[in-house]
Amino acid sequence: MSGRVVVFGATGYTGRLTVGSLVERGAQATIAGRDEDRLRTLAAKLGGTRTAVADVARPATVRALVDRGDVLVSTVGPFTRLGDPAVAAAIEAGAWYLDSTGEPPFVRRVFEDFGPRAEAAGTALVTAFGYDFVPGNLAGALVLREAGEQATRVEVGYFSLGGPGALRGAASRGTRASLAGVALEPMFAWRDGIREERAAARMRSFHVHGRPREALSIGGSEHFALPRLFPGLREVDVYLGWFGTATRALHTASRVSPLLARVPGVRAGLRAAGERAMRRPGRDPDPAAGARVGTYAVAAAFDGSGTQLGEVHLSGGDPYELTGHLLAWGAVRAAAGDLPGTGALGPVEAFGLNELEAACAEAGLIRSR
Ligand SMILES: NC(=O)c1ccc[n+]([C@@H]2O[C@H](COP(=O)([O-])OP(=O)(O)OC[C@H]3O[C@@H](n4cnc5c(N)ncnc54)[C@H](OP(=O)(O)O)[C@@H]3O)[C@@H](O)[C@H]2O)c1
């Protein structure tokens, strides 16, 4: 490895998993966070890792974390509220950047606003390099490679396994705060370009383990990343299938959510709920609940007449474990100078399809049929 790896947010649940996976790989990392005592305790557990104190409220402290050629991994979220200083710091320093966001508006900002700045600075940004949205990018790229040039549309679905109630106890403090922060934000789809579209505007059903499961449209990184790899794509949609019997009602309710967002206080109320969640001492998610939720992503490719050309299903374990593994693997690759380009890169663009498939398999995410 040439550059240093710095994990910012190392005291959080995902940060600790990422650091743990780096240690398993024999990689040295600096653990960074806002609380010196918590960092010291974690460093002692890890046998004396280097620490750095940084707080997004003081951007200069974040900027001081990295130099040119280093790798900054950020797991400090909610990203729409707290994410900008780390990306800006990486760009300014000329450091490689990876993050764990699952927030579509932040993903969009990285591709549209930060990406060109990173390109000018000669460095690369790999956003949402975890459960959101690596499995869909991988499944999408695999099905599109197999479908060939006739493919003009790809649809990706993410599902929890384990039946109703499986999600209970499975979300971290950071995830709950992030969901509250983006619930009413505008989402997007790809129609020969990014188009704004409200969350849950579309509903469709995918087969998961042979049974139909309904899912609602959301934003993702697939919308930005897949058309760059497959320029014949005219439509990209990403769906979330976590809602079981509530799916149809949420789809209907989504018609009023843009109105709801305009009601004075509603947006601020959600934001405040996210901030309250972050202030409460974090109880880690139950890993057994994470294993029950599991990871399941499906991608289907279609030609211009609407004929389905193929489907790829990927299945794996705990979403947080997957995220920690992927961030650690990506950080080691980036530190070795393996990123092939500059600007905002999608997961496949950043690491290659075969390499990403192998890394996911190593993390337990494999083709399920
Ligand atoms: N894409 C995905 O699939 C995926 C998977 C996992 C997580 N995530 C996202 O990753 C983020 C973190 O999740 P998590 O599970 O690790 O949550 P978490 O356990 O609550 O960790 C949040 C981290 O952010 C730090 N932080 C909060 N405010 C800060 C500030 N002002 N300056 C510096 N650090 C600050 C916290 O520090 P303290 O320890 O000092 O409080 C903690 O280290 C969330 O946005 C979550 O949605 C996404």
* Tens digits of pLDDT across the chain (369 residues): 578 999 999 999 999 999 999 999 999 999 999 999 999 999 999 998 999 999 999 999 999 999 999 999 999 999 999 999 999 999 999 999 999 999 999 999 999 999 999 999 999 999 999 999 999 999 999 999 999 999 999 999 999 987 666 667 777 888 877 776 676 788 999 999 999 998 889 999 999 988 999 999 999 999 999 999 999 999 999 999 988 888 888 888 777 766 666 666 666 665 666 666 666 666 788 888 788 889 999 999 999 999 999 999 999 999 999 999 999 999 999 999 889 999 999 999 999 999 999 999 999 999 997
Domain that holds residue 187: 134-319
163 and 278 inside one domain: yes
296 and 163 inside one domain: yes
71 and 103 inside one domain: yes
202 and 300 inside one domain: yes
170 and 59 inside one domain: no
Burial of 125 (0-12, 13-18, 19+ CB in 10 A): buried
273 and 337 inside one domain: no
104 and 14 inside one domain: yes
140 and 261 inside one domain: yes
| 76-197-138 Cα angle (round to 5) | 55
Distance in Å, CA 194 to ligand 1 centroid: 28
Closest ligand 1 atom to 34 CA: 33
339 and 230 inside one domain: no
CATH number of 49's domain: 3.40.50.720
Pocket test for ligand 1, best of 42, 175, 280, 323 (most atoms within 8 A of CB): 175
274 and 149 inside one domain: yes
Other Cβ atoms closer than 10 A to 112 = 12
Pocket test for ligand 1, best of 72, 75, 321 (most atoms within 8 A of CB): 75
pTM for this predicted structure: 0.94
Q: Locate 192 and state its tokens.
A: 């020969």
Domain count, the chain: 2
Q: Which residue's alpha carbon is nearest to atom 45 within ligand 1?
A: 77
CB 296 within 8 A of CB 161: yes
Pocket test for ligand 1, best of 6, 11, 176 (most atoms within 8 A of CB): 11
Backbone angles phi, psi at 318, to 5 degrees: -50, 125
126 and 261 inside one domain: no
Backbone angles phi, psi at 300, to 5 degrees: -120, 135
287 and 138 inside one domain: yes
| 346 pocket-lining for ligand 1 (C-beta < 6 Å) | no
CATH number of 267's domain: 3.30.360
